[in-house]
Chains A and B, each alone.
Chain A
Amino acid sequence: MFAYTVRRLGFALVTLWLATLLVFGALLLIPGNPAQAILGIDATPADLEALEARLGLDKPPLERYSNWLGGVLRGDLGQSIRYERPISELIVARLGITLPIVVASLLLATLLAVPLGILAARKAGTWVDVAVSTGSLVGIVLPSFWVGLMFIYVFIVWLKLPLPTSFPIGGWENPQRALAALVLPVLTVGLASASFLVRLVRGSVLEVLHQDYIRTAFAKGLGERVVLYKHALRNAALPVVTVLGLEFASLLIATVVVETVFGIPGLGSLSLTAISARDYPLVQGVVLVIAAFIVLMNLLVDFLYALLDPRVSYA
């Protein structure tokens, strides 16, 4: 297990390094330039040159990359070109908003999807199953920016619930208002994620219910409840846990859309700004952080797998 852990961590680090290379290369390839984004279209070539020199963009790419990577290894992500602030400070502030959304959405999705999925699997083929499956299909195909806007109209404009439509100016200074601002985004992301999860739970439980050992358990005369909770769900949980881990990462990215609709200054909207402003160090920093989350979740899933399924061996 120890050797496995070391190897796994090694892979994780290599993955992260490859991610830095990829994003740096991609930024070299896309057209556009941060100095122009800052100075605007009236800037003269002399203005641009002066700013590029100040930003260090006149140095060769390899030097820029190694400077940046060196900083990262020392724990310094550098300065944002656009915001003239330490990138770590910006990312931490934005994560403080995005992480609660992602975690709460995932929680909501799990609380909805697991019971509904089990219910649909147990009542497979009945109207309950059809209703759950259809509902989830609708949830999957509706784009989240549209769902978000509809929620604003239904809950705020029509029902006049006292919820803000965007994150309050001043942020967490007023925690109640800030939390209220996250209700609809969490609902939007959570429902979309639940729609996807519910099908997985249903499929997974259904598959397990068809296994021989379940038939054996029933044949032994065990009640449905015992069979379901003691035998079936533990096994059905495996793929669900895997997907939950990956879902965490994809929600981190899915927030881009929701944060735009709800005017939330989270990591998603930060990455969007960073890209459109060609704020290279900021894009690199955000990508690195998201990649780190993805790698971390994968590691966690692997270790959880080992706990849930003793048959998985780690030679």
Chain B
Amino acid sequence: MKKYLVGLLAFLGLGLGLGMAQQRGGAITIAIQTEPAAWDPTQVAGADISRVVYDNVLQGLVKRNPKGEIVPSLASRWTVSNSGLTYTFTLRQGVKFHDGSDFTAQDVLAKFNRARNPDTRASGHLRPDLYRDIANITSPNPSTVVFSLRQPNNDFLFILSRPESLIGPRQRPLAEQRVQPIGTGPFRFAGWERGVAVRLERNPNYYVQGLPYLDRVNFRFLGDGDAQLAGLRAGDLDVIAYSLLPENAVVLSRDSNFKVFSGSATAEAVAGFNNSRPPFNDVRVRRAITLATNKDELIQGAMLGYGTKIGSMRSPGEACYVDLSNFNAYNPDEARRLLAEAGFTNQNPLRFTFNLAAEFPYERRIGEAMVAQLNKLGPLQVTIQVTDFNTWIQRVFSQADYAMTIIGHVEANDTSNYANPRYYWRYNSPRFQQLYTQYLRAPNQTKACEALAAAQRLLAEDAAGVWVMSLPALGAYRARIQNWPDGFLTPAISVAEVWVRQ
């Protein structure tokens, strides 16, 4: 009965939504936390670049929508051969770049030949490793592009949906594309005021009829959470797109002028170990730390309930997710027993330093609360070291000169990092690497998910990290904003279909 009622309400809601006609025009200002160094995701990595340009300005053959599904973008459809080695894309016709030039198969060829060039100094393209499996790319006719792979790769479509795979005009100089990207998206990149904002303007030639609704979109760089809140309440901002502080979400949710959303996202707060060095090369110690971490309390205390408990390296909204949130569940007695077995007692406690990057409010407060929990256990003495992000990158991320740290991993489908023993967790498990290869080469989706599920389970058994929670895409907007994409399983803050009630 309840199910029908929900269905009826949803239907009525839908009716109301349809009854309110979308209006064209208007401008909105969206707060984002940090300003990237440049705006071309093929040359510079960073989540904030994609949040602004992905699918708003620059598009690829395929894209990830807010639900995380891979859907057509510049390719209207595609087929995969039975061998899994040939991907044939049919390109959308009549598409123009923002500079007026035509989008053609030659742009696609030029892009991916550049991307897979191992000489990054010549190509200026990041991550040639992603495209290693491409044997060659051809265009049998102007509306078709064919990729031939060296070996099957279940992540291939996902790779094509990554920000690195976005396509610009082939003649565009890289230095210009970096500061003023030209693409095929619903908005053109109109200007970048350094330190202040980026301005996007409607692309009048956009190939989807009627889109976008808005005339202008400003992305404003405002790092301070309280300043963001003040700006939203004062009317200078229309949207805080993500990383709204939980306490501010509570305040705003009581006010009918604003809507708070907590969408599913692909970000995991990972308290990572350096698996290659004592004390964390001992699985008993790693498991003890996991058992001594009360994730429910952290979600309540540090995040006021915004967050989802997880138990391995994957978020609930992602494909092939396995719920392991109660694996290694909170059990301080067992934690003490394991530590004692590994030689650590109240008289001889385990001492180590926990590194925190100062810039990220979520990770910092979760990390600090977690250390407080660990220190209560007895046989643990954890000290916190806070550094700026750049220092964190060099010491922890590049040199793995650390014991334990916490950071948010926002990228989707990033379980693969555990298959790389050089990654900063220094997790080297041949079994895991084998499972991950099985996933990549699986002949079908079911087999692929089976392998990925086994890989997630193995991580949990190995306690390779403490996956504290899946971080929400926590944000808020003014009530006049309509059709805001609540899901955040895409790299983008998609604004093509957003409109404002006048």
Contact = CB atoms under 8 A, between A and B. Distances in A.
A31 B194 contact: no
B390 A156 contact: no
Interface string B356-390: 00010000000000000000000000000000111
A277 B233 CA distance: 30
Contacts of B389: 276
B317 interface: no
B120 interface: yes
A36 B196 contact: no
B227 A263 contact: yes
Interface in A143-187: 149, 152-153, 156-157, 163-167, 169-171
Nearest to B393: A36
B35 A273 contact: yes
A50 B390 contact: no
A166 B126 contact: no
B218 A263 contact: no
B224 interface: yes
A275 B391 CA distance: 11
Contacts of A235: none
A33 B389 CA distance: 11
A169 B196 contact: yes
Nearest to B41: A40
A111 interface: no
A47 B197 contact: no
A23 B193 CA distance: 27
Contacts of B199: 169
A161 to B, nearest CB: 9
Interface in B232-255: 233-234, 236
Nearest to A80: B194
A157 B230 contact: yes
B390 A276 contact: yes
Interface string B201-239: 000000000000000001011111011001101101000
Contacts of A189: none
Given A82-B37, A269-B195, A44 B127 contact: yes
Interface stretch (A10-18, A83-91, A127-135, A246-254): A83-91
A157 B220 CA distance: 20
A285 interface: no
A164 B231 CA distance: 8
Interface in B170-200: 175, 178-179, 193-197, 199
Interface residues of A, number: 50
A90 B196 CA distance: 12
Interface string A239-283: 000000000000000000000111101000110010111100000
Interface string A189-211: 00000000000000000000000
A55 to B, nearest CB: 11
Contacts of B231: 165-166, 263
A38 B38 contact: yes
Interface string B381-412: 00000001111011101100000000000000
A260 B233 contact: no
Contacts of B121: 46, 49-50, 53-54
B388 A263 contact: no
Nearest to A54: B121
Interface residues of B, number: 46
B141 to A, nearest CB: 35
B45 A33 contact: no
Given A47-B126, A164-B234, A166-B222, A39 B35 contact: no
A262 to B, nearest CB: 7
B390 A31 contact: yes
B353 to A, nearest CB: 15
B25 interface: no
A164 B233 CA distance: 11
Nearest to A146: B226
A19 to B, nearest CB: 22
A277 B390 contact: yes
A276 B359 contact: yes
Contacts of B35: 273
B479 interface: no
B405 to A, nearest CB: 12
B37 A157 contact: no
Contact of B194 (A90, A153, A170): A90
A169 B191 CA distance: 11
Contacts of B395: 31
B45 A262 contact: no
A54 B38 CA distance: 15
B213 to A, nearest CB: 20
B281 to A, nearest CB: 23
B393 A32 contact: yes
Given A32-B388, A50-B121, A157 B196 contact: no
B456 interface: no
A166 to B, nearest CB: 6
B114 to A, nearest CB: 14
B197 A156 contact: no
A40 B127 CA distance: 11
B193 A42 contact: no
B120 A265 contact: no
A273 B197 CA distance: 14
A261 B390 contact: no
A40 B46 contact: yes
A122 B268 CA distance: 63
Contacts of B46: 40
A301 B124 CA distance: 52
Nearest to A164: B236
19 contacts: A31-B395, A32-B390, A36-B393, A38-B37, A40-B45, A44-B126, A47-B127, A83-B37, A84-B175, A152-B227, A152-B230, A157-B230, A167-B196, A169-B199, A171-B193, A263-B227, A265-B193, A265-B196, A277-B37
Given A47-B127, A165-B227, 17 more contacts: A31-B395, A33-B390, A36-B394, A41-B45, A42-B126, A44-B126, A49-B121, A50-B120, A156-B233, A156-B234, A165-B230, A170-B193, A171-B193, A260-B224, A261-B224, A263-B227, A276-B389
Q: Which 7 A-B pairs have the closest CB atoms?
A: A40-B45, A32-B390, A50-B121, A265-B195, A38-B37, A152-B230, A169-B197
